[in-house]
Amino acid sequence: MSTNPTTITAPAGLPFIEVTRDFDATPAQLFRVATDPDLVTQWLGPRNLEAEVVEYDVRPGGRYRYIHRDADGTEYAFRGVFHTVEQDALVIQTFEWEGAPGEVCLERASYTKTDTGVRLHTQTVFPSVASRDAAVESGMEYGIRDSYDRLAELIGKEQS
């Protein structure tokens, strides 16, 4: 399994979050695992939540919706629209937690080849600093780090 760290930056006073992580894979391998709905359920979200992909149509204009469930059955649903999809290189999409309707974010994920693998760099723009701060305070950092660790583990399994 990769031991590369996940770096999360949320500059004070700005409605942005950036996440960067290097993976021991090619851009094509990471892109496939990150966009295949059957594989997304295996890594997206923290380990203590079950994931269900309702819809995941990764193409310009395609929609997605997924649900995380905790042990008590509480659901956390997310949805959005894919705007730009460049195979193995870039995905731009909207992101909305259904628990905060109308708080739609714009996310950009780039897949860049490095000397040792691929760097996944995401930039999320929130509608306001307050909504960004609410996301940070919700424990989002834990979910991102656990998801990226699970993603690295899944890539390792896919390569073996």
Residue 143 Cα distances to 48, 52, 150, angstroms: 10, 16, 10
The alpha carbon dihedral of 147, 157, 24, 90 has a sign of negative
Q: Is the pLDDT of residue 128 over 80?
A: yes
Q: Delimit the domains of the chain by residue range.
A: 6-45+83-159
Query: Could you tell me the pLDDT band of residue 32, with boundaries at 50, 70 and 90?
Result: very high
CATH class of 6-45+83-159: alpha beta
Higher pLDDT, 122 or 1: 122
As a whole number, mean pLDDT of residues 21-39 equals: 96
